Amino acid sequence: MKNTIVLFVSMLALSGCEKTQEYSNELIQKGETHFKNIRQLTFSGENAEAYFSFDGTKLIYQAHDGDSLCDQIYVMDIKTGDSKMVSTGDGTTTCSYFEYPETKKIIYAS
């Protein structure tokens, strides 16, 4: 009996260790047939202009965070969700894109 309990508790603990990325369908409007497994990538800011890299691994966007007075350009790693400001931080910026076909170079207006 004791071995059964130990086995059950061990299996229960191990089953909770697996991490899987889950996507929500709560952002999909009723009747929409083209989308599934939507994941929200950004959660703050005032702008809606963003573009994926050609290989689909990064997102470039403009945002206004608490530290800057004007919009700046950021690149997000889609897999991790980590963002890095890639503009200088001086002045306002807009209209950012990845250079084709690489994702190493970007262009934006400032």
Q: Are 74 and 83 in contact (CB under 8 A)?
A: yes
What residues contact residue 17 under an 8 Å CB cut-off, 6+ apart? Answer: none
The HSE-up count of residue 107 (CA atoms within 13 Å, CB side) is: 4
Under the banding of pLDDT at 50, 70 and 90, the label for residue 68 is: confident
Q: Which two tokens stand for residue 68?
A: 């800057």
Rounded distance between C-alpha atoms, residue 86 and residue 32, angstroms: 35
What is the percent of the chain where pLDDT is above 90?
Answer: 27
Reported as a single tens digit per residue, the pLDDT across 73-94 is 999 999 998 999 999 988 888 8
What residues contact residue 88 under an 8 Å CB cut-off, 6+ apart? Answer: 110
> Mean pLDDT over residues 17-43, rounded?
68
